Structure 1
Amino acid sequence: MLKKTAAEGVHAEGIVIGAIIDMSSRIGKEQRAAMEIAVEDFNGTGNQTLVLHFKDSQRDPVRAALAAMDLINNQQVQAILGPQTWEEVLSVAEISSQTQVPILSLADTTPRWASERWPYLLQASPNKQEQMKAIAAVVQSGNWHQVTVIYEDTDSSFLYNSLRDVGVGVIKGVVLSTFSSTTALSEHLEKLKREQNRVFVVHLSLPLAVRLFEKANEMKMMGKDYVWIATSPVTSLVHSNASIISSSKQGIIGVKSCFPEGGHPFRKLRQRFEGGFSIENPKDESNEPGIYAAEAYDAVWTLAVAVNGSNRVGQELLGKILQVDFNGLSGKVQFIKFINERAPADKFHIINITEKGYKELGFWSKGSGFSKTIHENSICSSCMTDSEQALTPEAPRHNSRGWRIATSANPLRVGVPGKSGYREFVNVTYDHLGNSVSFSGFAIKVFNETIKRLPFDLPYEFIAFNNSSYDELVKQIYLKKYDAVVGDVVLLAKRYQYAEFTNPYTETGLMLIVPAVSGRREWSFITPFTKSMWVLIAVITVYNGFIIWLIERNHCPTLKGSMLHQIGIVLWLAFNTLFSLHGSYLQRYLVDVLRFKTQNIKNYSTLDAYAQAFKNKDITAVFLEVPLAKLFLAKYCHRFVSVGPTYKLGGFGFAFPRGSPLLPSIDEALLNVSESGTLLELEKRFITPAKCPEVEDENQSLSPDSFGTLFILTTGTSTISLAIYIFSRGISMVGYKITWRLVLAAMRYWVCQKQITRRFSNAEISVNFAPHAPGMQSLV
């Protein structure tokens, strides 16, 4: 139960402050030693006496809360320094607000909303948000587009947000407990070892990080194929722990707080610190102070400056703390009003830890990027040129890729559709024994050119997938049977549950293809026949028209008149005969080819099948993806055209596992293939050749051979009609009589024949029906 407020607990003997730290940790030990030196330095000024009371929280929030109550009620402190973790700060923040005792937190991060809820809570160490931005810049500079974050059960939102802001994806987050067992660490690392991504950002306390690195080293996960990036809880204490150095085979890259270590004030602190620290902590490997010692020293001086000359407490003391402004051992000490936190640091060391020790690679500063030195006139860059070489000192730069490497013995397994209906895109052929397989086609060549442009070697092998389903082919990536899929694979939303795709390497969209229509439609009726056929038709129709005129001219008044009029009549009769026979043929040529019914849909597996379906009039139009439409039009360029708008679709792309770190590099290489003109050359070679291939014209014009019999019949009929007409006009009346006699004779003969036939029939009936008839002979 709270008993006293800060106003009731003013000490007459001087300034009384408390400190809550974890005295068993390296950070707590450095903080205590530095605070004691700060108290000595302040008391040496002779202005006022500063009394400091320590409490050990052992990183336990409950112990921290109890310690705060004891310091306020029993020690009557005016302010409290610490604790180190946000969980501990959270447990004492409410107590400080109720008692109006300022808490100067030494935790790495305090949320912005905390100052609104607890106005007496201040962040005395620089917020680590800018350091997370430096970590993200390192990742971005290394071209590592995907990372795995390993963090303790603390707030890591700043790290996640910073990575996201530079376009780096966190494909997995591994949460470790402070007290994780060795078995648990092994299990987590074993799972990570099986993953393709091998870039790890470690945001752990030093003791847990050391255990993790030692176990990773045992499992051979600290080699050149892995990338380890550590945050300040590790890098800021690397000077104090040899174990972390010994476990860093190929190297750990990290971001370390930048402060004036070479300045005279810090050198004085180091001299006094080393003597007392080694006596108090004889088992520690190093007695050198770091950033945590410098920040603790500055926190004591912050309170001393705010209280100096009076016994300020509560709201008055809080206001004075927010007005503090001086250059401390850890850098500029100045608080940002309204959010109650110290101004963040904007410069950081980039270091590399190896088994031989650690070295500084350069600096990163907010707004400027990376540089070799910290001077104002130093050359800055957004790319950390030496960082990757430092990770693998004996290897070329491109070897530290941060993912599972494909080798000649273990190449990338690339699935290819073995039954593609479009061989121009993917063509899988086998030798006569069926042993050797070769792969060719547009998609294969584009992939080959893309791999050539990667900044690293990537061995791969094609594997034919003989199932006809492309969905099943993509699913093989999810089943880990293939590492990638290459072919005429369309980017569809439903396939993203199994894989991710590169940018499309073809134009995207869906096109409508229909049979072509002649540009001179008014003369399209002449195309069914050849020239000789049309000449023959003209001759025959004129001939037929002449015969009709000749026969009918004396019987029809309209066929009489001047010579010019009669010639016109002959031509009219000729062409009237022609089009009365062929008018329905013209109607078929005027059908609107753009009209089709969407419910009548048929699927075909090859372009030739589509063309045959058009020929058979099974279909009137076809939808094809743009690359297939280009191929179809190139193959049948005289007979089909595209019409209407292009409907947007995904296009063709290469498939990779979800979260694959290869994707960004493949996309970049694919863009290089396109921008260099290679993609266009391959497209002209495989899809749209410059010359249209000679194809058989299905609508070949008809020749006279096709109508020989018809012409013989029509010409013969007209000729017989003409002969009868001429014959009838040239005979005399005698001829008419003879004709009539011949007709009458023929009729008599016919009647006579009928009578004889009837007689024989009656006789036969009589014989057949006579009773008891003897054996009679039949007439033959």
Structure 2
Amino acid sequence: MPLPISLSIICRTFYSLTVFWFTNAALDLIKNKQVQAIIGPQSSVQADFIIDLGNKSHVPIISFSATSPSLSSIRRPYFIRAAQNDSSQVNAISAVVQAFGWREAVLIYVDNEFGEGIIPSLTDALEEVDTRVPYRSLIPPSATDNQIGQELYKLKTMQTRVFIVHMLPTLGSRLFAKAKEAGMMGRGYVWILTSGITDLLSFVDSSVVAISMQGVLGIKTYVPDTRNLDNFMVQWKKKFQQENPSVLSPPLNIFGYYAYDAARALAMAVEEMGTVNFTFQILNASTDATDLDTIGVSQNGEKLLQELANMTFMGLTGNFSLVDGQLESSVFQIVNINGNAARGIGFWTVKNGLLRNLNPFDTSKYSTSKSNLGTIIWPGDSTSVPKGWEFPTTRKSLKILVPVKDDFNQFVTVTYDPTTNTSQVTGYCIDIFQAVIEKLPYALTYELIPFTLPNGSSAGSYNDMIDQVYYQNYDAVVGDTTILANRSLHVDFTLPYTESGVAMLVPYEDNKSKNAWVFLKPLTWDLWLTSGCFFVFIALVVWILEHRINEDFRGPTTHQVGTSLWFSFSTMVFAQMQNSQPTITDVYQLLNSGERVGYQNGGFIHEMLKQMKFDDYRLVSYKSAEECDALLSKGSSKGGIAAAIDEVPYIRLILSQYCNKYLTIPTFKTAGFGFVFPKGSPLVPDISRAILNITEGPNMTKIEKAWFTSETNCLESTPSSSSNSLGLDSFWGLFVIAGVVAVLALLIYMVMFVKRNWRVITSSSASLWQKIVALGRRF
């Protein structure tokens, strides 16, 4: 709601007068007093024009509290920020968000230069950790309580429950008071403060902190407790109370420390310059010139600027060192507001990320683990980490699209009941989705809506359904939807719940040949020759290794050589071969063959085949497993197809119905079936985890049996293209050779044995039978 006209005019007038007063004061100091440097202005809103005056007059403008990143020192060389740039904390904020896995965050900030300056860098930091910013809530600096309440109500009706607040304490305290009234400080909500409020928490009304800000997280500039700081505070409190005896506990925040360090740096820079003549060059101007035209130029500004840039010392907040005209980034503390104060729960550094405790010698890598933070009490006095989103109060259930198809209806079946004018959705994919929903740690209501035209036919393709989610007309798509790279550019997919890949289904031919020499076929002659050489070589190696320790390889030389060669040669009988050969071995052979190819109607395979340069006249669609079988049975030459190319789940379904007829050949990789949600949907991680739970457990087997139970035994008998072995009839030639070699080896050995012992036998006067018995005993 816009401000009332009178109040809007007053606010703009007050803002203009404030800027005008500061601008004139700075102009008077430079033109009439000829000051060599100005410490101030205090706010980013006041700074812009005054900084331009400094650039024009070469007078350094030193600010200790203008923290907006939009006030760049690079384009304005005479502006020095003796304070932390607001953008230096954005990585600390994104580290906290990443630590708890929140995928969306709403930015709430004051609608002025201070508020807007941090937003680009903060948005970028969140996107780098895969966190979306679905909405930015701008609060006018002088917004009424009614305006703040209306904006908060809008946020409450949204899904996101992570809010990052960047504003000053005055407006921030009113925001949280209204958030408490709106019921937005309870369980499930996450509030993260930038240093704009956290560094100045003492300026927030204590009752607001104690009642309306419990459980809030904050990023706070870390000020180390040093002796230098303690001594300063003692002296400052003493002097302050002398001048203000009625104030018992004088507050001093981070900007007070920055102001002291800025004044000290300027004084030290002037001392380094020595006794120089600080002069101004007065410009000649025409009679109608303005005050800006007659402003002089400091002759020592550049030198003073250089001295300030080189100045380093140990200040109240740590090491004072300027980098690109602003204070070097330091450590941030992560705090959790409980009671009346902010309790430290950890730290963030550029080098190490989130840390439980600071250690200057820590060499660990950058981490965003939540285990590095202390115990957090969240809004609603809860210790459970909020998931960062909820279904808005205005939404009753998710609107989920399901495909309408006549083919392969085991996956999704839509049955229309004309009497009740309703549709019932069943199927393998639906059962998996329902099982996944039951595994979620929270209740999720949904409505399955068939993607149909008024006449009941399908309203479009799978890409059309995905477009409906992209345009936010529906909340999800559940069905046999393939995860593809081009689709993931527009929507998010869950993890797949089916096997991945595209396969080719082809008939197989029985290769149980009765040819006695079939065992030679798998190897070429040059490979056989090479194998023979290696048999001899391996035999030699075996003999070298075994003959001293294995009695089987001892004895005469001929015996040892024969044993070694036989040991090597006998390994031939263990070769395994295929008996079921596919008619087509790969998709490129199919492409070059000129034969016709089948694909499932309505899927993405048709487009994939066209990209592979398959001609349109060769592509034949089928709508069911039965039609695919009929086309494959005919063959390409009789008006059918030589092969069918489809996704693995459909190929498995066809195979399960037609045993011992086809072989599968893996063709391409795909990611399988997944559920579709809008980009950045916080449901995707939870549902993906639930899918893992289902697919790794017994529920998946039950669902598969429910829809494919009649084909289980059939699948077990399906021929494979790589695992079966040939029978004895295909190897008799090999066994004859092995037998002949064995018999020959035995005969040769026996002849040699008889020859060696013949003299002993013939020298005896015993009968022939007695001589044979004696020879046997000797053997």
Q: Same fold (TM over 0.5)?
A: yes
1:624-635 equivalences under 5 Å are 624-635=646-657
Could you tell me how far apart the structure 1 residues matched to 2:375 and 2:391 are?
Answer: 16
What TM-score do you get using the length of structure 1 for normalisation?
0.61
Match of 2:194 among 231, 249, 252: 231
2:545 paired residue number: none
Change in CA separation of 1:654 and 1:206 when aligned onto 2, cut-off 3 Å:
same
What SS is found at the alignment partner of 1:391? coil
2:217 paired residue number: 253
Could you tell me how far apart the structure 1 residues matched to 2:147 and 2:514 are?
Answer: 84
1:367 paired residue number: 351
Matched to 2:167, the amino acid is L
Instruction: Tell me if the contact between 1:371 and 1:378 (Cα under 8 Å) persists in the aligned partners.
Output: no
Aligned residues: 565
Change in CA separation of 1:361 and 1:292 when aligned onto 2, cut-off 3 Å:
same
1:80 aligned onto 2:38: yes
Could you tell me how far apart the structure 2 residues matched to 1:479 and 1:129 are?
Answer: 33
Match of 2:260 among 297, 313, 317: 297
Could you tell me how far apart the structure 1 residues matched to 2:117 and 2:267 are?
Answer: 31
Deviation at 1:636, TM superposition (A): 2.5
Could you tell me how far apart the structure 1 residues matched to 2:236 and 2:421 are?
Answer: 73
Change in CA separation of 1:681 and 1:325 when aligned onto 2, cut-off 3 Å:
farther
1:397 aligned onto 2:375: no
Instruction: Tell me if the contact between 2:98 and 2:368 (Cα under 8 Å) persists in the aligned partners.
Output: no
Could you tell me how far apart the structure 2 residues matched to 1:406 and 1:449 are?
Answer: 24
1:415-426 equivalences under 5 Å are 415-417=401-403, 421-426=407-412
1:640 paired residue number: 662
Deviation at 1:234, TM superposition (A): 1.0
2:492 paired residue number: 500
Could you tell me how far apart the structure 2 residues matched to 1:57 and 1:286 are?
Answer: 32
Deviation at 1:165, TM superposition (A): 2.9
Change in CA separation of 1:466 and 1:485 when aligned onto 2, cut-off 3 Å:
closer
Greater C-alpha Rg:
1
1:484 aligned onto 2:493: no
Could you tell me how far apart the structure 2 residues matched to 1:663 and 1:276 are?
Answer: 62
Deviation at 1:92, TM superposition (A): 2.4
2:605 paired residue number: none
1:333 aligned onto 2:320: yes
Matched to 1:155, the amino acid is G
Match of 2:301 among 302, 307, 314: 314
2:97 paired residue number: 139
Matched to 1:484, the amino acid is A
Matched to 1:598, the amino acid is D
Change in CA separation of 1:371 and 1:177 when aligned onto 2, cut-off 3 Å:
same
1:194 aligned onto 2:157: yes
1:42-121 equivalences under 5 Å are 61-107=19-65, 109=67, 114-121=72-79
Could you tell me how far apart the structure 2 residues matched to 1:490 and 1:64 are?
Answer: 63
What SS is found at the alignment partner of 2:156? helix
Could you tell me how far apart the structure 2 residues matched to 1:696 and 1:666 are?
Answer: 34
Could you tell me how far apart the structure 1 residues matched to 2:100 and 2:164 are?
Answer: 13
Instruction: Tell me if the contact between 1:223 and 1:250 (Cα under 8 Å) persists in the aligned partners.
Output: no
1:611 aligned onto 2:611: no
What SS is found at the alignment partner of 2:219? strand
1:550-699 equivalences under 5 Å are 594-596=595-597, 598-599=616-617, 603-612=621-630, 614=632, 619-620=640-641, 621-642=643-664, 645-646=667-668, 651-668=672-689, 670=691, 691-692=713-714
1:128 aligned onto 2:120: no
The 10-residue stretch of structure 1 (629-638 or 496-505) with the greater mean CA deviation from structure 2: 496-505
What SS is found at the alignment partner of 2:335? strand
Deviation at 1:659, TM superposition (A): 2.4
Change in CA separation of 1:60 and 1:354 when aligned onto 2, cut-off 3 Å:
farther
Could you tell me how far apart the structure 1 residues matched to 2:639 and 2:212 are?
Answer: 70
Change in CA separation of 1:599 and 1:108 when aligned onto 2, cut-off 3 Å:
farther
What SS is found at the alignment partner of 2:135? strand
Deviation at 1:383, TM superposition (A): 2.3
1:155 paired residue number: 117
Change in CA separation of 1:507 and 1:351 when aligned onto 2, cut-off 3 Å:
same
Matched to 1:606, the amino acid is S
Change in CA separation of 1:74 and 1:474 when aligned onto 2, cut-off 3 Å:
same
Could you tell me how far apart the structure 1 residues matched to 2:76 and 2:467 are?
Answer: 53
Matched to 1:343, the amino acid is E
After superposition, the C-alpha distances for 1:211-240 in whole angstroms (9 at most, x for unaligned) are 332333332222222211110111111122
1:164 paired residue number: 127
Could you tell me how far apart the structure 2 residues matched to 1:695 and 1:373 are?
Answer: 63
Deviation at 1:67, TM superposition (A): 2.8
What SS is found at the alignment partner of 1:403? coil
Deviation at 1:372, TM superposition (A): 3.6
Could you tell me how far apart the structure 2 residues matched to 1:465 and 1:274 are?
Answer: 75
1:271 aligned onto 2:293: no
After superposition, the C-alpha distances for 1:420-474 in whole angstroms (9 at most, x for unaligned) are 74344346789999899997654345546655776x4344456353734456655
The 10-residue stretch of structure 1 (318-327 or 384-393) with the greater mean CA deviation from structure 2: 384-393
Could you tell me how far apart the structure 1 residues matched to 2:716 and 2:223 are?
Answer: 78
1:214 aligned onto 2:199: no
After superposition, the C-alpha distances for 1:282-330 in whole angstroms (9 at most, x for unaligned) are 8xx9842211111112111111222237456422222221232222222
Deviation at 1:279, TM superposition (A): 7.3
2:342 paired residue number: 358
Could you tell me how far apart the structure 1 residues matched to 2:479 and 2:244 are?
Answer: 67
After superposition, the C-alpha distances for 1:501-532 in whole angstroms (9 at most, x for unaligned) are 22433455544434444446999xxxxxxxxx
1:185 paired residue number: 148
What SS is found at the alignment partner of 2:133? strand
Instruction: Tell me if the contact between 2:159 and 2:392 (Cα under 8 Å) persists in the aligned partners.
Output: no
Matched to 1:271, the amino acid is K
The 10-residue stretch of structure 1 (216-225 or 379-388) with the greater mean CA deviation from structure 2: 379-388
What SS is found at the alignment partner of 1:254? strand
Could you tell me how far apart the structure 2 residues matched to 1:110 and 1:461 are?
Answer: 45
Instruction: Tell me if the contact between 1:478 and 1:499 (Cα under 8 Å) persists in the aligned partners.
Output: yes
Could you tell me how far apart the structure 2 residues matched to 1:360 and 1:118 are?
Answer: 37
What SS is found at the alignment partner of 1:352? strand
What TM-score do you get using the length of structure 2 for normalisation?
0.62
Instruction: Tell me if the contact between 1:232 and 1:255 (Cα under 8 Å) persists in the aligned partners.
Output: yes
After superposition, the C-alpha distances for 1:163-199 in whole angstroms (9 at most, x for unaligned) are 2333322233333443445454344333322221221
Matched to 1:595, the amino acid is R
Matched to 2:132, the amino acid is G
After superposition, the C-alpha distances for 1:23-78 in whole angstroms (9 at most, x for unaligned) are xxxxxxxxxxxxxxxxxxxxxxxxxxxxxxxxx99895554433322221223222
Could you tell me how far apart the structure 2 residues matched to 1:298 and 1:147 are?
Answer: 36
2:310 paired residue number: 323
Long gaps (5+) in structure 1: 1-55, 524-590, 698-780
Matched to 1:366, the amino acid is V
What SS is found at the alignment partner of 1:217? helix
After superposition, the C-alpha distances for 1:99-126 in whole angstroms (9 at most, x for unaligned) are 2211113345465994443322222113
Deviation at 1:91, TM superposition (A): 1.8
Deviation at 1:488, TM superposition (A): 0.9
Change in CA separation of 1:126 and 1:139 when aligned onto 2, cut-off 3 Å:
same
Aligned residues: percent identity?
A: 31
What SS is found at the alignment partner of 2:56? helix
Change in CA separation of 1:195 and 1:479 when aligned onto 2, cut-off 3 Å:
farther
What SS is found at the alignment partner of 1:692? helix
Instruction: Tell me if the contact between 2:179 and 2:212 (Cα under 8 Å) persists in the aligned partners.
Output: no
